[in-house]
Amino acid sequence: MGELSAAMARVPADEVDREIELWLGRISQALDLDRSAIYERDSAGQPVRVTHTWRRPDFPAFPRNFDPVKFFQVTVDWVMAGNPITFSRPTEIPPKLEDARRFVERWGPKASAVIPMWGGGRVIGAASFGKFRSARQWPPELLDHLALSVRLFGSAIERKQSEMAIRAVRTELRVASRRNVMSELVASLSHEINQPLGAILSNLGGVARLLSQGNPQPAMALEAVNSAIDDTKRTAEIVRRIRSMFKHHAEHKTALGIGTLIDEVVKLTTGEAALRKIALQVEVSPAAQRVIGDSIQLQQCVLNLVMNAFDAIAEANSARRAVIVKVAPEKTGWVGVSVSDSGAGIAPAVASRLFEPFVTTKKDGMGLGLLVTRSIVEGHGGRLWATPNPDQGTTFTFTLPVADRKRVGASRRA
Ligand code: ADP
């Protein structure tokens, strides 16, 4: 029991099912049983699914899609209401569970313990431990232990389900927020541009009508053309404004500690790293190194690269799950920030187009992250590139100008 409870407490969500099946087998073997199973049901009225099974080698498997409700509805309701059933021989099955008794007399087992499984304060299913070769006694102490085991299974399943639900919500949120930003942007852009375009069209349409009537009125035509010119300028101004929104202005740039900047990003991603079982390692040397840049934009760069690294590891389902963020001096006056992952490397299909817009291999990808990152880095005078790691995965590196370079240069000259 001690080992089982330790195993159920520490097993990661992804491996809960495998671990439960393993323990179902261990328990059944220790008790010399023939076939055991765990059933789950999402809610009343839903079918009951066989989710975990163990059987003695050479013992017949469960029929596919076995739904106990079809064979013994009354008994299923009884167990799902939280009542256990144990019998040492079929005649011990309570008369009110007539449907189970009929089934057991025909198909077995000769002895069984069926225990409701609780999870998150409700019965989420049941476990059955069956002996088919002979009758069997179920001493109270053994039943207590079985009940405790099933409770541990139930809470592990409950933990797995809530973790999966959180993961699904997080992914949805991330995708939704990206989509929202994009669709907002596109909507306001088309609204702003369509309006002057409409005016230009109607003015030029007017001029065309005047000319086609063979009776041009120069003053009117000129007015319409001038108005179209104004609107064209307005449209160009809107486009310029939108572009400058995404340009990186020197005025936000200050000298900032690269170590602090990386720490901020690490704080933002530790939750995600834990959820994805990835070790995030930081190596900053020297930690006090200062660079010139826009803190928010540079955080965005590191964040993009780290999230891509996480995705690469998750996608490859790598056994080694480590991301290393490193800061190290580059050529004189520059510092390099690199993010290495242990993923499967860059897909050959996109390798030559990584920094182009909308190039993605991900189901929910936008294919903008690397483009934005590179444009920010270049706005700071640096470069961004990717290299395959010698063993596994990829390293993305970008360079930034060091803040104290003039002083360093001066002291060297001195
Ligand atoms: P997105 O992440 O939305 O796909 P990005 O521009 O950030 O957009 O990345 C473009 C593509 O580059 C990704 O879809 C992926 O195929 C590839 N890529 C980026 N980072 C990595 C990485 N660390 N390892 C492997 N492939 C990567």
Q: What is the pLDDT of residues 53-100, one digit of tens each?
A: 999 998 988 777 788 888 999 999 999 999 999 999 999 999 999 999
Q: Is the Cβ–Cβ distance between 227 and 369 less than 8 Å?
A: no
Compute the CA torsion angle 20, 23, 25, 29 (nearest 10 deg). -160
**Spatial distance between the Cα atoms of 66 and 103, rounded to a whole number of angstroms:** 13
Please name the fold of domain 2-166. Answer: Beta-Lactamase (3.30.450)
pTM of the entire predicted model: 0.50
Ligand 1 centroid vs 316 CA: distance in angstroms?
13
> Which ligand 1 atom sits nearest the alpha carbon of residue 370?
6
Long-range pairs for 352-358: beta carbons < 8 A, 24 or more residues apart: 354/386, 355/384
> Which ligand 1 atom sits nearest the alpha carbon of residue 354?
12
Q: How far is CA 160 from CA 12, 20, 188, in A?
A: 8, 12, 42
- What percentage of the chain exceeds 70 in pLDDT? 92
Ligand 1 centroid vs 308 CA: distance in angstroms?
6
pLDDT number for residue 169: 73
Ligand 1 centroid vs 319 CA: distance in angstroms?
20
List the alpha helices (DSSP H) in 246-294.
258-275
**Spatial distance between the Cα atoms of 320 and 159, rounded to a whole number of angstroms:** 24
Give yes or no for residue 397 CB within 6 A of ligand 1. no
Nearest alpha-carbon partner for 75 in 49, 94, 50, 52: 94
Q: What one-character DSSP code corresponds to residue 46?
A: S
> Which ligand 1 atom sits nearest the alpha carbon of residue 393?
24
**Spatial distance between the Cα atoms of 301 and 374, rounded to a whole number of angstroms:** 8
Beta strand pairing call for 322-329 and 279-284: parallel
Angle between helices 369-379 and 295-316 (to 10 degrees): 150
> Which ligand 1 atom sits nearest the alpha carbon of residue 312?
24
Which of 370, 394, 395, 396 has the most ligand 1 atoms within 8 A of CB, as the residue to mutate?
A: 370
pLDDT at residue 136 greater than cutoff 70? yes
pLDDT number for residue 381: 92
3-class DSSP state of 410:
helix
Sign, Cα dihedral of 87, 92, 97, 99? positive
Q: What angle do CA 85, 51, 18 make, to 5 degrees?
A: 115
pLDDT at residue 215 greater than cutoff 80? no
Give yes or no for residue 342 CB within 6 A of ligand 1. no
What's domain 252-414's superfamily in CATH? Histidine kinase-like ATPase, C-terminal domain (3.30.565.10)
List the alpha helices (DSSP H) in 11-84.
16-30, 68-80
Q: What is the pLDDT of residues 240-283, one digit of tens each?
A: 877 776 665 545 788 999 999 998 888 888 878 888 899 999 99
Q: What is the pLDDT of residues 354-398, one digit of tens each?
A: 998 888 999 878 888 898 889 889 989 999 999 999 999 999 999
Take atom 14 of ligand 1 and give the residue whose Cα is closest.
360
Ligand 1 centroid vs 225 CA: distance in angstroms?
47
Nearest alpha-carbon partner for 301 in 173, 389, 398: 398
Predicted confidence band of residue 412 (pLDDT cuts 50, 70, 90)? very low
Q: Which two tokens stand for residue 413?
A: 């000259």
Mean pLDDT for 108-126 is 94
Mean pLDDT for 187-208 is 86
pLDDT number for residue 139: 96
**Spatial distance between the Cα atoms of 411 and 414, rounded to a whole number of angstroms:** 5
pLDDT number for residue 299: 86
Q: Is the Cβ–Cβ distance between 236 and 367 less than 8 Å?
A: no
pLDDT number for residue 410: 37
Take atom 25 of ligand 1 and give the residue whose Cα is closest.
346
Domain ranges of the chain: 2-166, 252-414
**How far apart are the two ends of the chain, measured CA to CA in Å?**
73
Give yes or no for residue 359 CB within 6 A of ligand 1. yes
Predicted confidence band of residue 214 (pLDDT cuts 50, 70, 90)? confident
Ligand 1 centroid vs 368 CA: distance in angstroms?
9
Give yes or no for residue 7 CB within 6 A of ligand 1. no
Q: Is the Cβ–Cβ distance between 69 and 76 less than 8 Å?
A: yes
Q: Which two tokens stand for residue 345?
A: 């490397």
Ligand 1 centroid vs 265 CA: distance in angstroms?
18
pLDDT at residue 407 greater than cutoff 70? no
Give yes or no for residue 389 CB within 6 A of ligand 1. no
Q: What is the pLDDT of residues 276-312, one digit of tens each?
A: 899 999 998 876 689 999 887 888 899 899 999 999 9
pLDDT at residue 409 greater than cutoff 50? no
3-class DSSP state of 125:
strand
